[in-house]
A and B are shown apart, each in its own frame.
Chain A
């Protein structure tokens, strides 16, 4: 019986990461870790990334709420794969191979992921990237065999106003037998651009990892930098961050709720949600000078204080949303044509969500009640006591209902924050020194993790931003299996995974 993963990792050499520890383990210890993970299902692998000569994995013990990072050296650019025991690691391993050139031995899948063969270099983040001039290869898809099967290729350019990605459906008649996603079209090289920059400059890339989660990602990055430098932002900045984060959750949940109804050809809720969301965005623009509140969260605090008229504008927008939710919900629940489309569609199995450690409404709709605001928790949420709604059905309807419950709780918290904004400064100066930190916040989609290492001059030496979609996208492939092709937009919208967030 191998030791518990946390005991094993904790026996490695401690590294100066705050507030969650990081340990450097040996290659044999990493191999034991893989065995240990196999028999310890409550320990989740939330992310895996590289360094020129190391691999790092973030682990969460769901039984105790502890986080840690395990780092292991690679030998000849190779390390032992985690994907045989944690299927969610597979896409990370493919990404690590494409960006750092590190190969996961024994991996479930080693086809290229982000690298479509169109960059001028291979392994751009390796110590020595190699020039690349070959024509791009044809992508290979997993096969599906049987009588009457055919393929439907969709994308990268889709029919709606959404991000690009390729979906390869294998279908039999109307029924989807297998869906495989091929992403990476949005790879912008964000990590490479963040390296060597001061923390506040690098924060602009964190804010543009996924525009719909700009506050959540900006906050997680800021948290990591602040932990690294051991600074605490002023109380007013923390309250304003939470207010912006809840406004972000409200406008995105409204958007998704409306779009799910729209994809079931029921347009009235979409029109109403759109109008309410526009009100929230306008209030955000009045209060913080930007509709999406981009670049408002910066390491050390927030870049702007709320304007004098901001609180009233936000309050009015929140009142309008609160007043209409009961009607929208009654209409959503009582129209058979809509319920028929969402109930029982795109079911995610609870066991699968747990194995992939899927966060956000994807996990919470199927029994995995993880919310970073509650675990590990961060200021100011312990005072606000966020409710974490959990359902077990795992279908499109459950994912919508989790959003509605969160919408109502966010309204409560945003109003409480507005009513009790502490006075004082909104930013502190950042000392110019080195350090290492891990930031974790709960965006509307799920938990956003940012690991940052600053050198002695305060410049970013290593960074990895992990969007929650990494562990949710693969479940969409499972959710659509056995459903009809026509229900794919509905399932996809109920997940609403970020393309840009995982394409880096």
Chain B
């Protein structure tokens, strides 16, 4: 029994025939997609197609948001099936996914990261702190949200937002890329 356990290939073979662990995709709110498509049109950005590379930047979070962003990569949420993936450098990224109330000590690092990201690019603020500073609003050490330094395109509130909520927001971005603005 012990020797069988050590072998990985029977388990891998079995999983070829098992039902997937992955959740069905979340329903993306139509209004959100349209609003993003309009924003895209206004800023006359180039379209990026149905695939986005994401660079995550922690600008002061308690690491709760990071735990849930990491969970997007697990087999249950499986972010990559939607053409979304996390990249190691802002130079490879289309989207900066930023968490935290933007501490004064991280502001310059975030601005430099944004400057490294090639156009066209989006900025998504994740978590209540990133929206307006959250509970840390008013501290001498925070700027009070990502919007204090950078033009935020999409906010995903929550403390922390669940992986499903983040997936909804990111999928709305993908959808908005592939449709004309309505007006």
- Please judge, given known A-B contacts A124-B140, A274-B71, A291-B162, whether A185 and B103 are in contact too, CB under 8 Å: yes
Q: Does B64 contact A (CB under 8 A)?
A: yes
**CA gap between A209 and B61 in the complex, in Å:** 9
A residues in contact with B65, CB < 8 Å: 211
Interface residue stretch chosen among B5-13, B39-47, B145-153: B5-13
Residue of B nearest to A269 (CB): B8
B43 to chain A, nearest CB (A): 25
**Residues B105 and A186 in contact, CB atoms below 8 Å apart:** yes
Residue with the highest number of chain B CB atoms closer than 10 Å, among A164, A209, A271, A331: A164
Please count how many residues in chain A sit with their CB below 8 Å of the partner chain's CB atoms.
55
With beta carbons under 8 angstroms apart, the residue of A116, A161, A188, A268 that contacts B56 is A161
**B residues in contact (CB < 8 Å) with A:** 2, 5-6, 8, 11-12, 21, 56-71, 73-77, 86, 88-90, 100-101, 103-110, 113, 135-136, 138-142, 159-160, 162
Asked whether any CB of chain B lies closer than 8 Å to the CB of A499, the reply is yes
Residue A205 interfacial (CB < 8 Å): yes
Across the A-B interface, give the 5 residue pairs with the lowest CB-CB distance, nearest first.
Answer: A211-B64, A274-B74, A189-B139, A330-B5, A189-B141
A326: which B residues are within 8 A, CB to CB?
5
Q: Report the Cα distance A335→B101, complex, angstroms.
A: 43
Contact B140–A192 (Cβ < 8 Å): yes
Q: How far is the CA of A300 from the CA of B81 in the complex (A)?
A: 45
Which A168-198 residues sit within 8 Å CB-CB of chain B? Answer: 184-190, 192-193
Residues of B within 8 Å of A187, CB to CB, are 103, 105, 141
With A and B bound together, what is the CA distance between A345 and B101 in angstroms?
A: 36
- Other 13 A-B pairs with CB < 8 A, given A161-B70, A331-B6: A118-B105, A129-B140, A157-B57, A157-B90, A159-B89, A160-B88, A164-B57, A187-B105, A189-B139, A193-B135, A208-B135, A211-B65, A292-B160
Any chain B CB within 8 A of the CB of A412?
A: no
Indicate if the CB atoms of B86 and A121 lie closer than 8 Å: no
Once the chains bind, are A156 and B106 in contact (CB under 8 Å)?
yes
Q: Which residues of A contact B (CB under 8 A)?
A: 114, 116, 118-121, 124, 129, 156-157, 159-164, 184-190, 192-193, 204-205, 208-212, 214, 255, 268, 271, 274-275, 277-278, 281, 285, 291-292, 294, 326-327, 330-331, 333-335, 498-500
Check A334–B6 contact: CB distance below 8 A: yes
Do A119 and B141 contact each other (CB < 8 Å), given the known contacts A186-B103, A277-B74, A281-B71? yes
B76 adjacent to A278 (CB under 8 Å): yes
Distance (whole angstroms) from the CB of B53 to the closest CB of chain A: 13
* Residues of the A chain whose Cβ atoms lie less than 8 Å from the Cβ of B140: 119-121, 124, 129, 189, 192
User: How near does chain B come to A471, taking the closest CB pair, in angstroms?
Assistant: 19
- Is A330 a contact partner of B67 (Cβ separation < 8 A)? no
Q: In the complex, how many angstroms separate the beta carbon of B80 from the nearest chain A beta carbon?
A: 12
Which B residues are in CB contact (< 8 Å) with A271? Answer: 74-75
CB atoms of B63 and A500 under 8 A apart: yes
Chain B contacts of A157 at CB under 8 A?
A: 57, 90, 109-110, 113
Nearest residue (CB) in A for B77 is A278
Q: Is the CB of B66 within 8 A of A278?
A: no
- Chain B residue nearest to A281 (CB atoms) is B71
A212 CA to B67 CA in the complex, in Å? 7
A331 with B5, Cβ < 8 A, contacts A164-B109, A185-B105, A291-B68 known? yes
B-side contacts of A164, CB under 8 Å: 57-59, 106, 109
Which of A114, A116, A333, A500 has most B Cβ within 10 Å? A500
Closest A residue to B11 by beta carbon equals A327
B60/A499 in contact, CB under 8 A: no
Inter-chain CA distance A410–B51, complex, in Å, is: 41
Q: Which residues of A sit under 8 angstroms from B159, Cβ to Cβ? A: 294
Q: Could you say which of B56, B74, B138, B160 has the most chain A C-beta atoms within 10 Å of its C-beta?
A: B74
A189-B141, A204-B135, A326-B5 known; A274+B63 contact, CB < 8 A: no
Which residue in B64, B75, B107, B110 is a CB contact (below 8 Å) of A118?
B107
Enumerate chain B residues within 8 angstroms of A334, measured Cβ to Cβ.
6
Residue among A157, A159, A161, A190 with max Cβ neighbours from chain B (10 Å): A161
Contact of B64 among A121, A294, A331 (CB under 8 A): A294
Given the known interface contacts A291-B68, A330-B2, A500-B61, the answer about A159 and B113 at a Cβ–Cβ threshold of 8 Å is: no
- Complex Cα spacing A5 to B111, Å: 49
**Minimal Cβ-Cβ distance residue in B for A118:** B104
- Bound together, the chains give a CA A27 to CA B70 distance in angstroms of 49
A275 touches B74 (CB 8 A): yes
- Closest Cβ–Cβ distance, residue B58 to chain A (whole Å): 5
